[in-house]
Structure 1
Amino acid sequence: MMTNLAFQLSAFLQEYLTNERRVSQHTIDAYAYTFQLLTTFAATILKTQPSKLMIENLDVTLIVDFLNHLETTRGNSPRTRNARIAAIKAFFRFLEYRLVACLDQSRRIHSIPIKKAGHKLVDYLNKIEMQALLDAPDPQTHSGIRDRAMLHLCFAAGLRVSELVGLTLNQIVFQPSATIHIIGKGRRERILPLWKETTTVLRAWLAIRPSNAAVPELFLNAQDSCMTRSGFKYILSKHVKTAALKQVTLQEKRVSPHSLRHSCAMHTLKATHDIRKVSLWLGHADLKSTEIYLRADPDEKLETLMATTPPSLKRGKFKAPDKLIQMLKARK
């Protein structure tokens, strides 16, 4: 007997992940997008509607074809591919406890290997480039004041884009000192102080933020609803183009919302020379996640080089080759 995919997928996303696992809404959204891509691909291959797909249709061959489709057609990186297969495996792990008939199918899917991904250096903006970006929004307009506050806060606190757009009004405190209460990945919380400049631009935005907005989020879009991740990505790309007119090096860089987080980490590392403080500032669960910034910082390596005594070179004597041997070698 075939089992309808839509029913089980709905239970996985709306009940299991929310109530039993208590994962964040961002994780649920990421899983839902994975299955949006998978079911659309499967429906196209099988020439049916996504709502009519059966769990048995998602065999190893189809899923491997889907993963290859992500890399070849959509141009996704191995890291993104691995995130998609992780979501699929989580779903089939959920099915193992509900549908005994899916045990063998689940075992086969769990055998799909994770693809090894390269470890590239992080993309970040130097001090001049970052200042050009922060100066790009027009402070004489409503949207410019909002955008300037978002860019300043995202950089100063090293926020993930999900943390930025998810901020609510009660997570910002100005007295006795300006701080921000962040609920990050894995529900890890951290409280960070804010620079004077960041506090100033935040106060400017709060002064004009509609008081009758129906949502509690700090940053709103043009419809006075909460800002979305794609909305902030669009705003950032717009201001990067403006900043690149003054700082031409930005034209050669691919600036994403996460680039601001990387930039904050690199600036903090240069200021403190302490990778542990960078890890605490960013809210990393493991110090290994922060080591990527050490690989990208030449100053840290230069200090290590200068602190190490180089090996001495032994003086040698030059011995002229024998004329006969030299002539014979030349005849080869």
Structure 2
Amino acid sequence: MKSEQSSLAADFAAHLSVDRGLSHNTTGAYVSDLRQYLQHLDSVGISDPGQATRDDVAGFLGALRSLGAAPETVARKLSMLRNLYRYLISQGRASRDPTELVSTPRKWRKLPEILTVAEVELVLSQPDLDTPKGIRDRAILELLYAAGLRVSELAGLALSALHLREGFVRCLGKGMKERVVPLGSHAVRWLTRYLEEARPLIVRPGTPDTIFLNMRGRALSRKGCWKIVQTYVSQAGLDKRVSPHTFRHSFATHLLEGGADLRVVQELLGHSDISTTQIYTHIDREYLLEVHRTYHPRG
């Protein structure tokens, strides 16, 4: 973060805690949201939040929603923005409040179900790890959550796409666009165990080079992956409509709630645009790995 942005974050934090009397936790959450907002403004060429317009604010909130953030999360970030602009105006650092005409998230269409971190952990703990099938299923669940892959991307992964020593996977998304996604230490560990202990026991003559196989030694289908997720969600006793795509939404939501840069989440999900006002930006692989380690619950 630039020095002037760091200074603004510190000043805003002092205002929230001293002048507004907000709790330590609320102040910390607002400052994290502020940093994320400033990163977004930087990505669209705005260095001074006092110069942002209503369209810039709407673009930020819309990008959060398109990447899977829950309405409650977006509402908190909008609350932060309203506090921020009241503060900037009072300090003569902004002449107008671009949040005045921005609608509140409660009017938006409800997003698909998202799992909490605790619910993800509960589902991950369900497979029987004394069997090749259970080890395979644990590796699948870990990868869905760690990388935010679409089920079609996961089912189509070849062995050559995995780079476990470096900690990432290459996958082909929509439009045959390739992207690199970090895996995190947990997914690396379970993928390694699956490849060393379970997959060799499932392989049959003519088995393809796809990573995940069904118990007949053939490539695991999207439907097969869907059934695996349904089985363990049911075993976990969760009263939610959960599909493999739910793990993708949860992946993005947990990164965003942790304060990850919107551009990085965009890159990880394989979205070509973050909003109509934002130009796609390539992110260095090492930076992706560092953001994943820092903000993903299982990084």
The structural deviation recorded for 1:174 is 2.2
Q: Which of 108, 124, 133 matches 2:114?
A: 124
Structure 1 CA distance for aligned equivalents of residues 242 and 275 of structure 2: 24
* Match of residue 163 from structure 2: 173
Q: Which of 230, 244, 251 matches 1:264?
A: 251
* Match of residue 287 from structure 1: 274
2:139 aligned with 1:149, yes or no?
A: yes
Residue 236 of structure 2 aligns to a residue whose secondary structure is: helix
* Match of residue 207 from structure 2: 214
What's the CA shift string for 1:103-158, capped at 9, x where partnerless?
A: xxxxxxxxxxxxxxx84323210010000011111111111000000000011100
Residue 275 of structure 2 aligns to a residue whose secondary structure is: helix
2:224 aligned with 1:234, yes or no?
A: no
Instruction: Report how many aligned residue pairs link the two structures.
Output: 166
* Match of residue 184 from structure 1: 173
Residue 258 of structure 2 aligns to a residue whose secondary structure is: helix
Structure 2 CA distance for aligned equivalents of residues 273 and 191 of structure 1: 17
The structural deviation recorded for 1:272 is 2.6
Q: Which of 261, 267, 274 matches 2:261?
A: 274
Structure 2 CA distance for aligned equivalents of residues 137 and 204 of structure 1: 14
Q: Structure 1 residues 171, 273: closer, same or farther in 2, change over 3 A? A: closer
The structural deviation recorded for 1:257 is 1.1
CA contact (8 A) 2:161 2:171 kept: yes
2:202 aligned with 1:225, yes or no?
A: no
Which amino acid counterpart does residue 214 of structure 1 have in structure 2? T
What's the CA shift string for 1:155-182, capped at 9, x where partnerless?
A: 110000000100010000123x221011
Structure 1 CA distance for aligned equivalents of residues 183 and 224 of structure 2: 24
Structure 1 CA distance for aligned equivalents of residues 268 and 144 of structure 2: 12
Which amino acid counterpart does residue 275 of structure 1 have in structure 2? L
Which amino acid counterpart does residue 165 of structure 1 have in structure 2? A
Scaled by the length of structure 1, what TM-score is found? 0.48
Residue 192 of structure 1 aligns to a residue whose secondary structure is: strand
2:152 aligned with 1:159, yes or no?
A: no
Residue 111 of structure 2 aligns to a residue whose secondary structure is: coil
Which amino acid counterpart does residue 234 of structure 1 have in structure 2? K
Structure 2 CA distance for aligned equivalents of residues 277 and 134 of structure 1: 25
Q: Where do residues 12-27 of structure 1 align in structure 2 (5 Å cutoff)?
A: none
* Match of residue 296 from structure 1: none
Higher relative contact order (CA 8 A, sep 6+): 2
Which amino acid counterpart does residue 254 of structure 1 have in structure 2? R
**Structure 2, unaligned runs of 5 or more:** 1-107, 279-299
Q: Which of 185, 194, 198 matches 1:196?
A: 185
Which of the pair has more CA radius of gyration?
1
The structural deviation recorded for 1:273 is 4.1
User: Runs in 1 of length 4+ with deviation above 6 angstroms?
Assistant: none
Structure 1 CA distance for aligned equivalents of residues 259 and 162 of structure 2: 25
Scaled by the length of structure 2, what TM-score is found? 0.53
Residue 287 of structure 1 aligns to a residue whose secondary structure is: coil
Structure 2 CA distance for aligned equivalents of residues 121 and 288 of structure 1: 18
What's the CA shift string for 1:165-202, capped at 9, x where partnerless?
A: 00010000123x22101111111111122211111100
Which amino acid counterpart does residue 256 of structure 1 have in structure 2? S
CA contact (8 A) 2:207 2:219 kept: no
Identity of aligned residues (%): 40
Structure 2 CA distance for aligned equivalents of residues 170 and 225 of structure 1: 17
Which amino acid counterpart does residue 121 of structure 1 have in structure 2? L
The structural deviation recorded for 1:278 is 1.3
CA contact (8 A) 2:210 2:219 kept: yes
**Structure 1, unaligned runs of 5 or more:** 1-117, 245-249, 292-332
Structure 1 CA distance for aligned equivalents of residues 275 and 243 of structure 2: 22
Between stretches 154-163 and 202-211, larger displacement belongs to 202-211
